[in-house]
Amino acid sequence: MLRTLAASALILGLAACATGPAPRVATDYQPLLDASTRPAADKADDAARKPTEILAFMNIKGGETVLELEAGRGYFSELLAGAVGLNGKLIVQNPPEFPQYYAAEEARINGRLPNATLSKARFVDLGLATGSVDKVVWILGPHELYYVPKDTKGFGEPAKAYSEIARVLKPGGEFIAMDHAAAAGAPTTTGGTVHRIDPAVVKDMATKAGLKFVDESKILANPQDDHTKGVFDSTLRRHTDQFLYRFVKAK
């Protein structure tokens, strides 16, 4: 099933390239969502998470090497692996400060996602060759740089993490960042309290690391969210105001 879906995604990508820039069409990725191998729990989240639209914004293509930062339990890992296809590569990263996710990701990857590998590298030292990755995606995670999990010293200097992202990207490669929005001007400490971050912080940090802001999507914006509640609040979970940015590394 993965081989068939991956081949379809690759054909779609090649056809788009033949006529110009690949269109960001949500239906391109629908077969990946419909796969019978996807866990029911993942499918139950699709309506709220809008994965086809997000994948279209990311413009994931067959044959690419994609680094997924802080993949968690792997909701997007399975979709990204299918989108890059068997000729592509997915690096699924969860830092050592989040060991609770390793078992879930290993279960997904082993025997099911042959083009995916698990990375336990830190955000500030990704352990990858310079210029080796086509896209770095960080879904609902940049705020973690300002959070200190129990019994850890935190994730390291934020500026170093963004520098690492820029370093591993190929010239012309893209960084896609999505997160729960904090209020404009909110201090970075919101990353450790309500697990949100002011979008301007992400834009500023990426820009200082040498990445150029090129696009954004409002697909997961929620103007009813006043940005004061924690993201795990039962009245708001899966419906926070979220920003989605794309940056590019100069060629």
How high is the pLDDT of residue 112? Answer: 87
Q: What is the pLDDT along the chain (251 residues), one digit of tens a residue?
A: 434 444 344 333 333 333 333 444 434 799 999 999 899 999 999 999 999 999 999 999 999 999 999 999 999 999 999 999 999 999 999 999 999 999 999 999 997 899 999 999 999 999 999 999 999 999 999 999 999 999 999 999 999 999 999 999 999 999 999 999 999 999 999 999 999 999 999 999 999 999 999 999 999 999 999 999 999 999 999 899 999 999 999 98
How high is the pLDDT of residue 62? Answer: 93
State how far Cα 136 lies from the chain centre: 7
Residue 246, helix vs strand vs coil = strand
For residue 176, the tally of other CB atoms under 10 A from its CB is: 21
Pick the CATH number of 2-249 from 3.40.50.150, 3.20.110.10, 3.90.1200.10, 3.40.50.300: 3.40.50.150
How high is the pLDDT of residue 21? Answer: 38
The residue whose two tokens read 């099933």 is 1
Residue 198, helix vs strand vs coil = coil
How high is the pLDDT of residue 12? Answer: 38
Distances in whole angstroms, Cα of residue 250 to Cα of each of 21, 22, 153, 170: 18, 20, 33, 9
How high is the pLDDT of residue 160? Answer: 98
* Residue 128: DSSP 8-state: -
* Residue 142: DSSP 8-state: G
The alpha-helical segments, DSSP class H, found in 86-227 are 102-109, 158-168, 190-193, 199-208
Selection from 120, 76, 128 nearest residue 100 by Cα: 120
36/1 Cα distance (integer angstroms) = 8
Specify the pTM: 0.88
How high is the pLDDT of residue 28? Answer: 73
For residue 27, the tally of other CB atoms under 10 A from its CB is: 9
